[in-house]
Chain A
Amino acid sequence: MSTFRNPRFSPCFHWMIDMAGPNSIADVRGLYVHIPFCESICHYCDFVKTRARADTKKAYLSAVRRELEQYVRYFASVKTLYIGGGTPSCLDDAETDALFSLLKPVFDTADLTEITVECNPLDVTPAYARRLKSRGVNRISLGIQTMQEKHLQALGRKHDARAAAQSISNVRAAGFENISVDLLFAMPGETLAEVQDDLSRITALAPEHISCYHLSVEEGTRLYVKKQRGELVETDEDLAAEMYAAVMDTLAANGYHQYEISSFAKPGRESGHNLIYWRNEDYLGIGCGAHSNVEQRRWHNHMRVKTYIDALKTPAGPIAEYYPFEGMKDALMMGLRLREGVDIDALKRIYGTDVFKQYPGLKDAIATGLLTYDHPRIALTRRGMFLGNCVFAVLEGDAHD
């Protein structure tokens, strides 16, 4: 368990001086590396991404190496490595090699159990899949989103259903035994039948893990612009609820265990890396826009590629902003997303307060059937998964009002 420093954040002057010294007993479990480059921008995406030239990518990887070097002492405890984006798979072979080369210290020091790379189905040729496998990657996350051609087009995705299926088969052929697929539902104009079709086609391809998200229209995306213009047909709330129910039931019937609001896995194939977020454990984020949670400090790096690259040439470093670590509130906000819920005795030990005293609204949530309480765990019920925000709202500003 880490020592508890003053949770109030302070502006970052000399980046390294501010961090824990050699006597730190931080317990960073996961390492995230952001590759913000993409061939094209999807209409729904609000992640940090950009189309970029080769020299920018080169400069970026150098910056990433420099940032990584500062955190060497945290590597020992790391169990999961996650390379996300953007589209990590859009790097060419030389760039991919460069990436894994700069990650070598991590591989050498840490006892990694899960190494994930996010991929666009079109990039996953048999050769590429083999290349990743040879570098030690043992989990691939494929951005399939849907098998319905017209929705793929509407979202600005460049692959088709055939390419999606092919990518899974290429990944299998390369020897991967842990494949995750991203799926969306409630796309504009989507029908329940189309959702069912996606579910049956994907389950037929039998990935080990499925992340299935209700599409949300975020500011800064092309879909948002369409919405502002009144050109977007958003899915009716009640239909979306039916869709979510269909997702839950169909995946359960196919052997997937729903362990988080949007995450479904065959037994033992839960995302180790993502569990770190939901269990409020320590993690480090490398690269532009990446977030970290280390020793009760939370921060994120500069969002824009150029700013990030330049920042790493200065002693100030890549951290753009610290933001509050709110102990028990964060633990509940994240932990209640999991089917397993949260251990309130553990929280009491760590934070010294009774959860129900701090958030009396949680008792109402139990009374209205959104939460179950089976001492010492509280967890969302099935209905609670649908209406999660009603529970999380209790945590936002409810304490001792």
Chain B
Amino acid sequence: MSHDPDIQAIKKRQKLIRNFSIIAHIDHGKSTLADRILEHTKSISAREMREQLLDSMDLERERGITIKLNAVQIKHAHHDGNTYIFHLIDTPGHVDFTYEVSRSLAACEGALLVVDAAQGIEAQTLANVYLALDNDLEIIPVINKIDLPSADIPKVKHDIENIIGLDTEHCVLVSAKEGIGIADILDRIITAIPAPSGDPEAPLKALIFDSYYDSYRGVVPSIRVVEGTLRKGDRIKMMATRKTLEVIEIGVFTPKQEKCDVLGPGDVGYLTAAIKTVEHVRVGDTITHEKRPAQSPLPGYRQLNPMVYCGLFPIDSNDYVALREALERLRLNDASLVYEPENSRALGFGFRIGFLGTLHMEIIQARIDREFDIPLIATAPSVIYHVYAADGTMTIIDNPCMMPETQAIARIEEPHMEATLFTPKDYVGNVMELCQKKRGVFKDMKYIGDMRVQLTYHLPLLEIVYDFFDKLKSCSKGYASLDYHFHSYRPSQLVRMDIMINGEIVDALSLVVHRDFAYARGKAITEKLKELIPRHMFEVPIQAAIQNKIIARSTVKALRKNVLAKCYGGDITRKKKLLEKQKEGKKRMKSVGNVDVPQSAFLSVLSLDD
């Protein structure tokens, strides 16, 4: 045991650290509660704090950082005479971001579970609670909005005990709006959530749970020290990427960045090391010292499987490099993003990308468009097929366009997943019906507690990536969850469907579909495209074809009238403006032969109502 006074100080301080997150459904009062906690402990209003923060962040904004308020250090002078150090780590709201939630939780020992006293437990609460439980967190139930006339505290307590299985003996009753119960929460945090374990003298292990890019300081990882001690000037090593660096600065978020000299076990903060290469920092990685490194890294958290894939192509092929850089930057604070280069005859060079869900995909795509100013086209999702010729040779096809002609194919095999679905028992029927519709094969069903059911199905990955996740959520009011892993390749009656616009095959729209679904999907796609493709001076036929046989079609009628009715002396500028506007509209379109096809048309094929 060391007698180093420095280490003693760190150990003493460590006992006073409490790291927690707040888990809540949207609108159940998470931000108000967080504000109240900040006000209570800091004695300044959250608004003042935000103003301070925004002032310092304007500068940062200019330097191109994406602002994230996700790890705040709060000092709380408790009535027992000690000053505790709380780290409040934020969890994002939406159901798509289970992965994000899980990595925030990995930095905590406990979580406040906030439930609206009138609304009760909702889907998202449940999903995140299970995550917290999976991470072995100490959960403190907090019932909020007790001031509402419709509050039903006994019922909510009952639900918490029975649906989640949490003891509510010590649950805290609060009204964030009225400021009631805040001190009780802080007391509970101190008593119920354990101080971080971890030996400040052990080899360093620090978890990277987030990061962002600052054009001046490079990549700035947010870290949680688990073992050992980190000081400014240390030489560190990233255990997964094996990169060694010298630490230039370390600090905490108050929420402004505040430098400090040492971070010990349980501390949450950031470091800078002039890291210019985005690939060197991987969220989930462990940081250790170059000399006296840790034997093994911290358990990374589970990589969640992407649910939806699509191809993203820049409308302007000159933007390819910019797109690649954008994806690198986005992956910095969104490690769930999975991507690799892809090539299309119609659209040129782009990427095939995996997302956690359609919201995730829409957000990434919108961010690329807006933050990086790269207009994009998306293509229909696909998986990897094994195609066997008559003589038994197998080819691996990952692009529908590369699918050979039917005569050359003896059989096609597609990947099947073993899917585990959790759902409240009320929705079991809906979920099973959905799996059946998606060519699923039932394997197992069992009850977890008396309210939850676990279903096991074998499902083709193709059906999972195309629209399954959204449908699962909507048939179960958001309560159901899905996890899957690869099981086997199985033969299926699959066909390649091509989409032709004005007689020309648009390879980016080609897709592989099960024969039984071909007509319905072809019809849905051709109808959707008809709405989205603008009228041209000639009729534009839209066709879905399998092996040159048209199975569905629609037509965009020819434009019959497009002329400015009035044009006298003063109208000439108005006319020029109108024409210029029409011309601008065309810029966001991709030409397929003579036809101008808007971005939305390519995106639309990703989400169709069957």
Contact = CB atoms under 8 A, between A and B. Distances in A.
B471 interface: no
B537 A390 contact: yes
B561 A237 contact: yes
Interface string B177-213: 0000000000000000000000000000000000000
B572 A214 contact: no
A223 B554 CA distance: 33
Interface stretch (A18-26, A138-146, A330-338): A330-338
Contacts of B575: 333, 392
Interface in A277-298: 277-278, 283, 285, 289-293, 298
Interface in B557-601: 557, 559-570, 572-573, 575-576, 578-580, 582-583
A368 B568 CA distance: 27
Interface in A371-401: 385-390, 392-393, 395-397
Nearest to B560: A241
A388 B565 CA distance: 9
B543 to A, nearest CB: 23
Interface residues of A toward B: which range? Answer: 35 or more
A386 B572 contact: no
Nearest to B578: A389
Contacts of B570: 285, 289-291, 300
A385 B562 CA distance: 9
Contacts of B579: 389, 392-393, 395-396
A337 B568 CA distance: 11
Contact of A393 (B557, B567, B582): B582
A295 to B, nearest CB: 15
A213 B566 CA distance: 7
A387 B562 contact: yes
Contacts of B562: 386-390
Interface residues of B toward A: which range? Answer: 20 to 34
A78 interface: no
Given A333-B576, A334-B572, A397-B580, A386 B566 contact: no
B569 A385 contact: no
Contact of A389 (B566, B569, B582): B582
A262 to B, nearest CB: 5
B554 to A, nearest CB: 16
Scoring B563, B567, B569, B576 by chain A CB atoms within 10 A of each residue's CB, the highest score goes to B569
Contacts of A244: 561
A291 B537 CA distance: 34
B566 A262 contact: yes
Contacts of B569: 32, 277, 283, 285, 291-293
Interface string A224-245: 0000000000000110110010
A377 B606 CA distance: 50
A24 to B, nearest CB: 20
Contacts of A307: none
A15 interface: no
Kindly list the 9 A-B residue pairs having the minimum CB-CB distance in the complex, ordered from nearest.
A388-B563, A241-B560, A291-B570, A396-B579, A241-B561, A213-B565, A291-B569, A214-B565, A389-B562
Interface of A: 32, 213-216, 237-238, 240-241, 244, 261-262, 274, 277-278, 283, 285, 289-293, 298, 300, 323, 330, 333-334, 337, 368, 385-390, 392-393, 395-397
Given A368-B537, A387-B537, 13 more contacts: A216-B566, A238-B560, A244-B561, A261-B565, A262-B565, A274-B568, A277-B568, A289-B570, A300-B570, A388-B564, A396-B576, A397-B580, A397-B583
16 contacts: A213-B566, A216-B564, A237-B561, A238-B560, A241-B560, A261-B563, A261-B565, A292-B569, A323-B573, A334-B567, A334-B572, A337-B567, A386-B561, A386-B563, A390-B562, A396-B580
